A and B are shown apart, each in its own frame.
Chain A
Amino acid sequence: MRRTLAILDYALGATRRRGGRNLAIAAGLAFVVGLVSAVLLLTGALEREFALSVDATPDLVVQRVVGGRPGLIEVDSSSALSELPAVSSVRPRVWGYLFVPSLEANVTIVGATPGELGEALSHQIVEGRGPRPGANQECLAGAALAKRLGLRPGDGIALPVHGDIRVLDAVGLFHADSALHSADVLVVSESMARDLLGIPQGMATDLAIRLTTPDEAGVVANHLERALGQVGQVRVLDKRLLARTYELTFGGRSGLSAIMLLPALAAFLLLAWERLTGLGGVERREIGVLKAIGWSTSDVLLARLLESGLVSLGGTLFGLLAGYVYVFQFGAPGLRAALLGWSTLYPELVLVPNADLGQAAALLGAVVVPFIATSLVPAWRAAVVDPDETMRGAA
């Protein structure tokens, strides 16, 4: 123990003596580890947010496909579907996008029935109040939209529709807590949604279906397609397939970001490799001196191990901590656009870390262990030969 501490003391001195190089390596490690962990943390947090509410969404969504594009579907067809044994409820939905040029963004208009609104508003979801039943001009606005427009509860929103102006009252604003779902929405009554989006009576954007046994979604989807006419004219979206799409999208994006990081990573690794394996003349001489004054090979290696361990552990841990702060405290500026999409109405991220200590330890090990090994090999080679030869080689 005393020996280890004494050699640690020496290693600390050595770390300081080669301070410039060690600092550069630690900083490089911190940067690379920070970026990689930021990508992983952000992706993990989004997946977690998605998983939190996935069972609150409809099991199946039925769309009509017209000319290869999503079209409107008849509300009447819902009655045929609700008679299917596996279906517990069918809800024709009226929703769509309204493009706002000055925001360069789509606002998502969602039509809701008083019943749906009442159920949702029984929870604390808005600041302000909910729309009164029958008050057609009252609406709820998403947090990002409100922030972008400077809305406060009670403010009006004027929308030009069909050469006319509709004025909505934003009586409630969604809490930022749910921003990842509600950032860009404007929840209005169903008739107002039809008016704003130009969806005629008797038609709906799609049908949201809940099943008695969600596990059979795949089988039911086939029945639904047949019940609604020819295959190819309707599209049935399985929630689990959407979830899968989502995972792929973000998995693909984090992969893409990782690929863009690769050149930087490779450059750093090359640099570190060169620095670590090319033992300088000064260091060779130092190892020769230590051996000559009675240090054994294992003493020399322990000093080297401690030095590179301190540098790599310090750098990597710092990178992990910085990655966490960058993502969760600052909302990952820069990385966000690459990972979340080229959206303009960004939700304020209320992210919850999904990674656990084990994953952090795995990342730490994956970086630190090879790093130490890389630095140990040349020192070992220098330490096992005659000190005299070590110095001859250096001279």
Chain B
Amino acid sequence: MYSPTMRLTDEERITLEGGRGDALRKAMESVARFGDVFGADRLVDLDHGVHLVTSFGIPLLGPVFDMMDELIAAGLRTPEPFTVDPRPCDFANVPVGPIEKLIFTKVMYAKQKDYEAQLREVGLKDGKAFTCACYFDEVGNVPKRGDTLAWAESSAVVYANSVLGARSNRNSGVLELMCGIVGKAPRFGFLTDEGREATWTVELRTTALPEAQLLGSAIGMKVVEDVPYIRGLDRYLGTELDDRAKDYLKDMGAASASNGAVGLYHVDGLTPEAKDLGESLVRAGAKVYVIDDAEIGRVKAGYPMMWKDADARPSRCFIGCPHLSRAQLYGWLDRLEASLKASGRKRVAVPTVLTTAPDVAEAFRSDARAAARLEATGAALSSICPLMYMNNPLCGKKPVITNSNKLRTYTKARYYTDADILAIVTGGRS
């Protein structure tokens, strides 16, 4: 029997000793061992539903599916409904060729239906809960400041910690489900006040607001997994977390989490803890990273060219990794229309997919006029995970372009700024 280093309550100990069944014992032991590795002093109750990273039924995870069956057989489910990352396929809105489809359905994600059934059994919120941006109001997995969480999706973790002021570690896939099942998380890292202190200060000295995806990339590559305190961004974003600021921070955070491993950042004068605690969040001796226009340019120029033919015509464009907010969706619609008009085209020259949460897509489609306008541009609306799509080797080797630094990092997709993406998809420039 496992004897944890951390302090457990009597109730937790009974569970760990198997007093509430073997499956729950294993879940508790997984959480306790995980906490012990990272020096947790105790377990704390979760205040909010978990968000799972694994949304895809890839057959190689057979042993994980067996574990899910064990949880289900024991009647275990999370006390709060949970959300999960986006689905890997959407053939209606992101069509693929017959061989690509065969690989998706018979090889890569052959267990998709079975896995989704398992997710429902253990507490999935509903059939629309598939998004990386579970914190959108339309989706409803929105923690409050100070809430203890156990999330795994890196872009969601960094948003919850930084923008919402909730507290989650960057959990490994499945561990977040184990925490959800026992309703507790080990207290260490971002769950503690000291773990939220900044060990870097980032001085933003650009002449204009940088592209969120580039600023996040620069920060992630420099500080890797440390906590940065960013000065100078409030100059451009203001001091209120309005839709524009939240969307910017969503994309910046996702880039910092994927180009590095940032799980929390503070923005001076803007994010909740920075507004309340200010410079006291910065540890003595914090390292300094100055970002000016030249540094942003250096970072962007350093991205490797992953296409075999650098001059290839893009075969598809993904906009929305992480998923677009409702405001971003309408913003892209306006910009696509204006840019098409300016270039004298009626429809996009490159098959373009805007991705958003199913609940946001539903709300958008309920606006019949907006839906018709989008359809007229030729761009598609989907709730797919572009990253999972690109994992199909046949899809992954095609010349795909994106404005996502996360997608660039994990696949061969080529990154362009928003302005360049717009020019390419509406004007045919490549």
A and B assemble together: no
Q: Which residues of B contact A (CB under 8 A)?
A: none
